[in-house]
Amino acid sequence: MEAALSQVDNAKDFLSMGGLQLVIEGLNSSEASLKEHAAFVLGAALSSNPKVQIEAIEGGALQKLLVILATEQPLAVRKKALFALSSMLRHFPYAQQQFLKLGGLQVLRSLFRQKGMEPLHVRVVTLLYDLIMEKMLLEDSQQEEQMEEKIQQYQQVRLVPAVVEQGWCALVPNLLAMPEHDTREKVLKLVGVLVAFCREHYRGDPALGTTLSLLRSEYEELAAQEQREGDKDGYFRELLGSIDTIIQELR
């Protein structure tokens, strides 16, 4: 049943049967496993489904998900709550606006101060990157008139100023110390987008300069090895390109 919910038609049937409100109520359960299950089902139903997104936000799902993320909960429960939150916010500027109003960024930031929440850090970084890019791409594109309304909605989402004000400029680069290439790739993407807004902070951060130099040396070597093996446009070459772009921007 859970896998089927990610299919739009099934999610619509589920909605018309009043299932959504039941799932939202499940987010209040005192049973961790029920709460986790409810968040997973909600996330699957929300995925790329505007009608469910609207119904869910009207049903109070956003507040409930933020409460789960802000309170003492097992990692598995918070993981699913973050999945549901991501599905609710993507391509839905009204929800993004409400998220900011309800202090959602502070809630996500608090996950970085708690032990045992490290697996969520890269998911938060990916979500922020996707939301910032989503807005930038829409505002830059030459869309037809029907998109005008959506562009106006996005203009009211003050995501980047909130990110800068709340200290994410300092927080995000710290994650470059993580050993996994995949994590670094996602962090570099977000740092690359934030450079334009955090430039002064980054220029005044000697630790970031050192980290970027060390990563550059590491990926230069890995990219060279990749090339020797016949992979001219490899993964490490791409990461090296991201680092070079950031270093260039900070000169």
Work out the pLDDT band at 114, boundaries 50, 70, 90. confident
Q: pLDDT tier at 116 (50, 70, 90 boundaries)?
A: confident
Of the listed ranges 18-32, 45-59, 138-152, 154-168, the one predicted with least confidence: 138-152
Residue 142 confidence (pLDDT): 61
- Tracing tokens 């973050």 back to the chain, one arrives at 82
More confident residue, 164 or 154: 164
Full-model pTM = 0.88
pLDDT digits (tens, 9 = 90+) for 176-199: 999 999 999 999 999 999 999 999
Answer with the residue of higher pLDDT: 143 or 246. 246
- Tokens representing 204? 């005044």
> Could you tell me if 191 and 132 are in contact, meaning their C-beta atoms sit under 8 angstroms apart?
no
Across 215-224, average pLDDT: 94
pLDDT of 102 above 90: yes
Instruction: Provide the pLDDT for residue 61.
Output: 96
Q: What is the mean pLDDT of residues 43-52?
A: 88
**pLDDT score, position 189:** 95
**What whole-number percentage of the chain has pLDDT above 70?**
90
Q: Place 65 in a pLDDT band, splitting at 50, 70 and 90.
A: very high
Q: How far apart are CA 195 and CA 209, in angstroms?
A: 13
Which single residue is written with the structure tokens 């001219």?
A: 232
pLDDT tens digits, 200-211: 999 999 999 999
Give yes or no for residue 220 having a pLDDT over 50.
yes
Residue of 180, 248, 168, 167 whose CA lies nearest to 212: 248
Q: What is the pLDDT of residue 232?
A: 73
Q: How far apart are the first and last CA of the chain?
A: 53
